[in-house]
Chains A and B, each alone.
Chain A
Amino acid sequence: MTTTAPEHLLTADGVTMRFGGLTALDDVGLRVDPGTVVGLIGPNGAGKTTLFNVLSGVLRPTRGVVSWKGAPRSGGRTHHLARAGIARTFQGLNLFPMMTVLGNVMVGADRLARGGAFSLVSGLGRHHRDERELRERATAALERFGVGEHAHRLPGTLPYGVQKQVALARACAGEPELLLLDEPASGLSGHETAELGERIRELSKDMAVVLVEHHMDLVMDVCDRVVVLDFGRVISTGTPEEVQADPAVTRAYLGTSDVPSTGPDDGNGDRR
């Protein structure tokens, strides 16, 4: 999937987000290039989730501009972003509980259907072909994430690990150009996390990925670039190696001059 002129897929410039008197984000800049994996890390309360919500269009920033393919993203509503090619997963998965796994993923693919309003209401015109294509895409996405056998189950009847794969399949079924992953490794075992890392690497061949993650092993393993937030500011950005060597990051995480550990349990970064 080649984008036209601009080299950056998504850029955020001078993004500031205030909730009443609290400044959650302060002049944050970020860029995401096609086919790269960008990790967003920082201690608890650093503003990762807020930035994530701004990038995915759930929140509108107080100040600053988020550009998509070089054009400032106007105040469009959330579903316009999906139409433009941005998909996300949620920390709480947010699967549709009363719909089958296949139905969930077909909703994710819905943006690719080409029939207009008439076919939508009447079931005539392209509707039949659209439905067949959506079902094929959804089935392929489920197979890709190894959960094809559960297509006709309700999400609530499946183990958490499987539900996470379904959520990923739903986000990817629409063939987005940018995939935003909110804590994809939370609740997964070490083995599953390793698998997830490979999967993200594979996905990044087709799309850019931004992930918020506490799990440092995963971040350092899969990310091309890492952005570190603290108190709503970007304190460091660069390759995983550069960030790990940055004394500002060490200070933010530990308050001392120790190098940040890359162990899975140290990522939660409680500030002392």
Chain B
Amino acid sequence: MVENRPLLTFFSHLALIVGISFIALPVWLAFVVSTQEASALFAGQVPLWPGEHFIENYSSILFEGEKNSGAPPILLMITNSLVMAVCVAVGKITISIISAYAIVYFQFPFRQAIFWMIFMTLMLPVEVRILPTFEVIAQLGMLNSYAGLTIPLIASATATFLFRQFYMTIPDEMIEAARMDGAGPIRFFVDILLPLSRTNIAALFVILFIFGWNQYLWPLLVTTDASYYTVVMGIQRMMAVPDSDPIWHYVMATAILGMIPPVIVVVTMQKLFVKGLIETEK
């Protein structure tokens, strides 16, 4: 905007400030509550400024867990969530990048049919096929394991589709030039296609990491052993303690801790993420 219009500046800032507080206030409240004593919250009023029990609350929840609800230490749950989110993201990207390569660059019978079959799995997220998937995982003895947590979530078409679309925008001359240079299919994939997909991979990693991190229903079903609990389901378990008031200060501390890793991932990969979404390097 070239002209100087103070009123417009004022209102646009106001809109931004309202928007930010709308998102930030609950986070702030969660943080405030997580630093209070349990008794401070039963008065029915939510304090607005942090209390004095920050270190105490966080260290106990991080390393000891909440005994009454049978929740393991948060550190363990965060590790589980991390393993799950990273496995889901890496697994999905690996599988889809390879399958998209096959679909775009190789002529084989029923190529289109196979693509549409992969595409159709878009309509079948875990929630829809939860019973049969659970049955399969149970039969394979994969309950209470990282494999059981991640493998059913890895199978999906979104990423395959995305990479297929990206590969189709790469000019044919690129592979022809590589063939003239003497590169075989694997060399072309590793030397040319992977580096070109770098930003796409990063963008997808961020999205899929958060997708994996936020999984709730599936971990709830396949884990009965506390040592495989993830943070997101852990919060729910802490809130639903029978015959006792919810221990809000611990729940909120868990929520705050559970928020940190996705934030770190988004912030560190933000540049690549935006690049991957808006710009194609060709």
Task: Say if A and B assemble together.
Answer: no
